[in-house]
Amino acid sequence: MMSDDMLSQDEIDALLRGTSEPEEETKDTSSDLIVEEYLSSMEQDALGEIGNISFGSSATALSTLLNQKVEITTPAVSIIDRNKLTEEFPHPYVAIEVEYTEGFSGTNLLVIKQSDASIIADLMLGGDGTNPEDHMGEIQLSAVQEAMNQMMGSAATSMSTVFSKKVDISPPTIDLLNVQQGEGTDAIPKQSLLVKISFRLKIGSLIDSSIMQLLQLEFAKDLVHELMNPAPAASPEEFSPPEAPIQEETPTAHAPEIHERQNEMAYAGAAVNHQQPTGPQHFGGYGGTQQANVQPAMFSNFDASPVQSHEPKNLDMLMDIPLHVTVELGRTNKSVKDILELTSGSIIELDKLAGEPVDILVNSRLIAKGEVVVIDENFGVRITDIVSQSDRIKKLK
């Protein structure tokens, strides 16, 4: 007979397993996807290295925009099942989709928490990030979209260097992502298996979270294949071959670093080969008795870089950001006593003369002067003069 104070064998087994519901826990654990079954360790290292290089430059661009120290580090590669997005993204997120228009064929989806996106939007709109808006409106989404556009533009430039070819992207599209409510899931690639590359995101003392990159599994493997088997960096007309040939190496886990070093050597070789000394040399194993032909250094013209500017596209992204326009009739200074004595019918004298042009301000900055007009039943202002840059500077002093 078993005492009530004694544990049964089932209870002992449950304690040894560390849970009171062993069968359910075992079921959840066995359903997790093992990344090694889909990506080798070399492929994982390569994807992490591509992300490190791309997001390293993206962090610099974002830091300039937000005027905050930005760190994007520690990539972690995993495989997720599209049917289990609720487990992967339990909170409201913001998804930014970018399509590669040149260099690659695929899409790149960035996912960040909605709370982090609100802080980024507040910083973009001139705030300090401590009191962001709880609701992501059109203005906030436009601000985050522009920040991500700058980030992905810098990432595309870095990938052009890594893969030795032009890489271009489409303007990013942004959407709110709430998987539990079925909101924004159309932006997620339709493939059943996706590669998730998670980075630690730190923005000053405001954000210490993560930013995730979702890629189709096939697209991720294509990136690794192109990195391990790069195409010729340039045609013979553009670059002369390096003086010392680069020995082909068998791809290893450090292949990204090897190919990056090869690209640097190729560019360096192109720069120095414009002026090659004639005749026998006495340097680096080239035997001879004649003196070297020393000439001024000649450098390549980097204006013809294969990476073209994204300024027109980036400027287009700013066109729909709303600005606050104010027409100022005049100003005056009053003491607290004068303000408290104001009643209905009181008259406040301004510093402007009758008929003098009024000031037109955009985001509290003087940009023009004009005269007040009446349009139907509404007031309006007709611009009579655009303020010069020197006058704007004087106005700020």
In this structure, is residue 145 part of a structural domain?
yes
State the pLDDT confidence band at 119, using cuts at 50, 70 and 90.
Answer: very high
Using DSSP's 3-state secondary structure scheme, residue 376 falls into coil
Which sign does the torsion angle of CA 271, 273, 275, 281 carry?
positive
- Which of 189-193, 312-316, 381-385 has the largest mean confidence? 381-385
The whole-chain average pLDDT of the chain stands at 75
Q: Tell whether 201 and 330 lie within a shared domain.
A: no
State the pLDDT confidence band at 36, using cuts at 50, 70 and 90.
Answer: confident
Residue whose structure tokens are 């697209």: 219
Distance CA 389, CA 397 (A): 13
List, as one string, the DSSP characters of 243-311: SSPPPP----TTHHHHHHHHHHHHHHHHHHTTSPPPS---STT---SSPP---------GGG-SS---H
Distance CA 298, CA 160 (A): 25
Instruction: Give the pLDDT of residue 1.
Output: 46
List, as one string, the DSSP characters of 20-61: S-HHHHHHHHHTSPPGGGTS-HHHHHHHHHHHHHHHHHHHHH
Q: Is the pLDDT of residue 30 over 70?
A: no
Q: For residues 360 and 325, is the Cβ–Cβ distance under 8 A?
A: yes
In this structure, is residue 298 part of a structural domain?
no
Q: What is the mean pLDDT of residues 355-370?
A: 86
pTM: 0.50
In this structure, is residue 269 part of a structural domain?
no
Distance CA 245, CA 266 (A): 10
In this structure, is residue 254 part of a structural domain?
no
Phi, psi of 260 (to 5 degrees): -65, -40
Structure tokens at 63: 């830091």
Task: Give the pLDDT confidence of 263-311 residue by residue, as tens digits.
Answer: 544 444 444 344 444 444 444 444 444 556 666 666 555 554 444 544 4
Which residue(s) pair with 200 in the sheet?
A: 73, 210
Task: Give the pLDDT confidence of 72-109 residue by residue, as tens digits.
Answer: 887 889 998 888 877 888 888 888 888 888 888 888 88
Q: What is the mean pLDDT of residues 21-40?
A: 58
Distance CA 8, CA 26 (A): 21
Q: What is the mean pLDDT of residues 242-262?
A: 46
pLDDT: which is higher, 233 or 60: 60
Lowest mean pLDDT among 14-18, 24-28, 167-171: 24-28
Listed residue (163, 206, 208) closest to 72, CA to CA = 208
CATH number of the domain to which 187 belongs: 3.40.1550.10
In this structure, is residue 86 part of a structural domain?
yes
In this structure, is residue 30 part of a structural domain?
no
Q: Is the pLDDT of residue 47 over 70?
A: yes
List, as one string, the DSSP characters of 81-150: EGGGHHHH--S-EEEEEEEEEES--SEEEEEEEHHHHHHHHHHHTT--SSS--SS--HHHHHHHHHHHHH
Instruction: Give the pLDDT of residue 207.
Output: 92
Total domains in the chain come to: 2
Q: Is the pLDDT of residue 359 over 60?
A: yes
Instruction: Give the pLDDT of residue 108.
Output: 87
State the pLDDT confidence band at 388, using cuts at 50, 70 and 90.
Answer: confident
Lowest mean pLDDT among 180-184, 190-194, 311-315: 311-315
Give residues with Cβ within 8 angstroms of 325, minimum separation 6.
360, 361, 362
Q: What is the mean pLDDT of residues 56-72?
A: 86
Q: For residues 323 and 363, is the Cβ–Cβ distance under 8 A?
A: yes
Q: Tell whether 213 and 334 lie within a shared domain.
A: no
Q: Tell whether 56 and 181 lie within a shared domain.
A: yes
Range of the domain at 333: 323-340+349-395
Q: For residues 321 and 139, is the Cβ–Cβ distance under 8 A?
A: yes
Rounded to 10 degrees, the C-alpha dihedral 276/281/285/287 comes to 150
Q: Which residue, of 163, 193, 228, is where some domain finishes? A: 228
Q: Which residue, of 177, 212, 228, is where some domain finishes? A: 228
In this structure, is residue 27 part of a structural domain?
no
Instruction: Give the pLDDT of residue 203.
Output: 92
Q: Which residue, of 164, 193, 228, is where some domain finishes? A: 228
In this structure, is residue 246 part of a structural domain?
no
CATH number of the domain to which 391 belongs: 2.30.330.10
Lowest mean pLDDT among 22-26, 120-124, 305-309: 22-26
